[in-house]
């Protein structure tokens, strides 16, 4: 039988990515749950299995192994290992293997989500309940939107909607080699928002397990996208709506910050994280040899009275302590505390979206969009109260300092999770709120704000234009 193929617009030749465990022709790269194309979806059971294949892609090594490197860009953490120096020095080159693996993994999600949607639309799932079919379409729309968003903010000038440097959009499952140019940033955001609007209407209203996509999950990603688009009033309004309804759909902040990570994908705070459990369904991480950067250490120290002690954690923000100091387990890392090599146990996951971030999205957007400092303080207080700050702490922050304080708390809250520390630096810099070289001196020009298009992608698509280098 003809193999089910995942051909990505921008990687159309042979991939030389042996170091990333992506060897051979891209036609042979397929997720764990893929069946032959002719029989991928036949009924309700096979449709659910195919959808699981889309979810499974968020555990791919191309996505997980780049995690510390993306944090090296901002200087929030530092460490050693393969291909770390270009990220630490903000001098990533097109031939860097990690960025090619990341690029491939995200386009694989797009292409697989397209395939599942097309077969559902074609009525291949015989006997599948019509409501469930709509829900599954909504879930696929979410996955495509998030993958495209991740691609745009990594490889496109996401901060400028007038820019032509967007990404290649793949709207249908690709079965043949085809050269295609990049779309503009505005057109990419347009498709992302259309997909999210559909997901908000179509995805399951309630999910028992937080590693599955719901309408609240889709709303959360939408609020985040709106923040990146500088649609601050809309972002604030949607974030406020999410915070009001989250509890109704069982999304609840963990009382103890460290419990988010101990509970992994089962945490009540998770809005979307890959399912991980035991030896088989786990993800591969590269977080052993990392330590906090100088800037992060200073922020965590400045927030607390007294000089920070790296041995005891005294004088540091409690979240910093939980992440870097009072840690144990195989990774010696508080955000990845579980042993992934023991069967029938909770494994570490990647926290792509969680409720704590929604409070911080609202706080920033409320300030930028409405000058609503009181509302921003209320949202920030939910974060700082859990971190052990005095209940009156947020009221001691002046209006003029509040926006930057929100960014710094977001840095400590989310460091090592979803690279927001780097993208926040870029966004705040582009809004004129900070001098990026004061935080990361190696960001010497705007050409360093996004990653280059991988050389392997350029080699296979003669219509694909490289980012300014």
Q: Is residue 450 part of a domain?
A: no
Assess whether 292 and 247 both reside in one domain.
yes
Instruction: Give the tokens for residue 238.
Output: 């949607």
DSSP label of 425 = H
Confidence of residue 24 (pLDDT cuts 50, 70, 90): very low
Residues 77, 434 contacting (CB under 8 angstroms): no
DSSP E strands in 294-374: the ranges are 353-354
Assess whether 192 and 286 both reside in one domain.
no
pLDDT for residue 38? 56
Confidence of residue 82 (pLDDT cuts 50, 70, 90): confident
Number of domains in the chain: 2
pLDDT tens track for 413-429: 999 999 999 999 999 99
Confidence of residue 289 (pLDDT cuts 50, 70, 90): confident
Separation between Cα atoms, residue 276 and residue 59, nearest integer Å: 8
Confidence of residue 32 (pLDDT cuts 50, 70, 90): very low
Q: Is residue 211 part of a domain?
A: no
* Gyration radius (Cα) of the chain, Å: 21
The domain in which residue 431 lies consists of 232-440
* pLDDT over 90 (residue 275): yes
* Residue among 319, 332, 348, 357 nearest 242 (CA): 357
**Under 8 Å CB-to-CB from 56, ≥6 apart: which residues?**
31, 32, 33, 274
Assess whether 375 and 435 both reside in one domain.
yes
Write down how long the chain is: 469
Q: What is the mean pLDDT of residues 253-269?
A: 97
**Under 8 Å CB-to-CB from 460, ≥6 apart: which residues?**
10, 11, 12, 13, 177, 179
Task: Return the number of other C-beta atoms located less than 10 Å from residue 445's C-beta.
Answer: 10
Q: Strand, helix or coil at 291?
A: strand
Assess whether 267 and 398 both reside in one domain.
yes
Task: Return the number of other C-beta atoms located less than 10 Å from residue 33's C-beta.
Answer: 18
Residues 10, 107 contacting (CB under 8 angstroms): yes
* pLDDT over 90 (residue 314): yes
Higher-confidence position of 92 and 23: 92
Q: Is residue 255 part of a domain?
A: yes
* pLDDT over 90 (residue 385): yes
Q: What is the mean pLDDT of residues 66-84?
A: 92
The per-residue b/e assignment along 320-356, b for 16 or more CB within 10 angstroms, e otherwise, is bbbbbbebeeebebbbbbbebeeeeebbbbbbbbbbb
Q: What is the mean pLDDT of residues 59-80?
A: 95
Beta bridge partners, 281, equal 277
Separation between Cα atoms, residue 288 and residue 388, nearest integer Å: 27
Q: Strand, helix or coil at 179?
A: coil
Separation between Cα atoms, residue 457 and residue 455, nearest integer Å: 5
Separation between Cα atoms, residue 414 and residue 302, nearest integer Å: 18
Instruction: Give the tokens for residue 87.
Output: 């990220």
pLDDT for residue 8? 34
Output the CA angle 121-141-263, nearest 5 degrees.
125
Assess whether 181 and 81 both reside in one domain.
yes
Q: What is the mean pLDDT of residues 340-358?
A: 96
Higher-confidence position of 129 and 10: 129
CATH of the domain at 413: 1.25.40.390
Q: Is residue 469 part of a domain?
A: no
* pLDDT over 50 (residue 15): no
Q: Is residue 96 part of a domain?
A: yes
Confidence of residue 36 (pLDDT cuts 50, 70, 90): low
Confidence of residue 26 (pLDDT cuts 50, 70, 90): very low
Q: What percent of the chain has pLDDT over 70?
A: 91
Q: What is the mean pLDDT of residues 278-298?
A: 93
Q: Is residue 224 part of a domain?
A: no
Assess whether 122 and 171 both reside in one domain.
yes
Confidence of residue 326 (pLDDT cuts 50, 70, 90): confident
Separation between Cα atoms, residue 453 and residue 11, nearest integer Å: 11
Higher-confidence position of 391 and 6: 391
Separation between Cα atoms, residue 408 and residue 386, nearest integer Å: 16
Q: Is residue 208 part of a domain?
A: no
Assess whether 288 and 329 both reside in one domain.
yes
Assess whether 334 and 389 both reside in one domain.
yes
Residues 317, 350 contacting (CB under 8 angstroms): no
What are the C-alpha distances in Å from 190 to residues 102, 149, 187, 228, 441?
23, 11, 5, 13, 34
Token pair 């609202």 is found at 362
pLDDT tens track for 190-205: 999 999 999 999 999 9
Assess whether 195 and 251 both reside in one domain.
no
* Residue among 423, 420, 467 nearest 447 (CA): 467
What are the C-alpha distances in Å from 329 to residues 181, 194, 349?
46, 42, 15
Q: Is residue 225 part of a domain?
A: no
Q: What is the mean pLDDT of residues 208-225?
A: 97
Mean pLDDT, rounded, of the chain: 91
Token pair 């992608």 is found at 457
Assess whether 120 and 170 both reside in one domain.
yes
Residues 27, 5 contacting (CB under 8 angstroms): yes
Rounded to 10 degrees, what is the CA torsion of 355, 194, 170, 23? 10
Distance of alpha carbon 247 from the chain centroid: 23
Higher-confidence position of 179 and 89: 89
Confidence of residue 176 (pLDDT cuts 50, 70, 90): low
Assess whether 162 and 245 both reside in one domain.
no
Separation between Cα atoms, residue 345 and residue 339, nearest integer Å: 8
pLDDT for residue 366? 98
pLDDT for residue 37? 58
Assess whether 140 and 257 both reside in one domain.
no
């Amino acid at each position: 039988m003809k193999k089910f193929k995942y051909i990505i617009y921008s990687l159309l030749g042979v991939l030389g990515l042996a170091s990333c465990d992506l060897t051979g022709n891209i036609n042979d790269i397929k997720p764990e749950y893929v069946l032959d194309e002719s029989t991928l979806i036949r009924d309700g059971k096979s449709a659910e299995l195919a959808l699981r294949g889309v979810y499974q892609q968020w555990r791919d090594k191309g996505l997980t192994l780049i995690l510390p490197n993306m944090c090296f860009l901002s200087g929030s953490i530092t460490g050693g290992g393969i291909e770390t120096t270009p990220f630490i020095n903000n001098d990533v080159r097109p031939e860097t293997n990690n960025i090619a693996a990341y690029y491939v993994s995200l386009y694989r999600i797009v292409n697989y989500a397209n395939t599942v949607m097309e077969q559902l639309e074609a009525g291949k799932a015989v006997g599948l309940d019509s409501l469930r079919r709509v829900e599954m379409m909504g879930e696929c729309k979410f996955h495509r939107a998030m993958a495209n968003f991740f691609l745009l903010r990594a490889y496109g000038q996401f901060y400028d909607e007038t820019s032509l440097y967007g990404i290649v959009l793949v709207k249908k499952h690709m079965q043949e080699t085809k050269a295609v140019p990049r779309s503009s940033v505005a057109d990419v955001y347009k498709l992302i928002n259309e997909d999210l609007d559909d997901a908000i209407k179509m995805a399951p209203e309630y999910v028992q397990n937080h590693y599955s996509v719901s309408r609240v999950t889709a709303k959360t990603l939408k609020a985040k996208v709106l923040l990146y688009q500088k649609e601050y009033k809309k972002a604030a309004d949607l974030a406020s709506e999410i915070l009001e309804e989250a509890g109704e759909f069982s999304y609840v902040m963990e009382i103890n910050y460290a419990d988010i990570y101990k509970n992994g994908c089962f945490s009540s705070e998770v809005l979307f994280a890959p399912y991980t459990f035991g030896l088989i369904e786990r993800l591969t991480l590269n977080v052993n040899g990392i330590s906090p950067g100088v800037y992060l250490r200073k922020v965590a120290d400045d927030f607390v009275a007294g000089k920070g002690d790296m041995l005891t954690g005294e004088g540091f923000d409690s979240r910093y302590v939980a992440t870097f100091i009072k840690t144990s387990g195989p990774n010696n890392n508080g955000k990845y505390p579980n042993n992934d090599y023991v069967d029938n146990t909770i494994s570490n996951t990647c926290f792509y979206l969680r409720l704590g971030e929604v409070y911080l999205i609202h706080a920033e957007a409320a300030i930028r969009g409405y000058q609503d400092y009181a509302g921003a303080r209320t949202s920030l207080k939910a974060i700082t109260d859990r971190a052990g700050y005095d209940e009156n702490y947020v009221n001691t922050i002046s209006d003029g300092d509040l926006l930057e304080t929100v960014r710094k708390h977001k840095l400590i809250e989310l460091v090592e999770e979803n690279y927001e520390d780097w993208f926040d630096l870029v966004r705040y810099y582009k809004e004129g709120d900070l001098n990026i070289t004061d935080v990361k001196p190696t960001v010497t020009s705007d050409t360093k704000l996004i990653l280059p298009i991988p050389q392997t992608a350029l080699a296979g698509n003669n219509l694909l234009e490289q980012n300014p280098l």
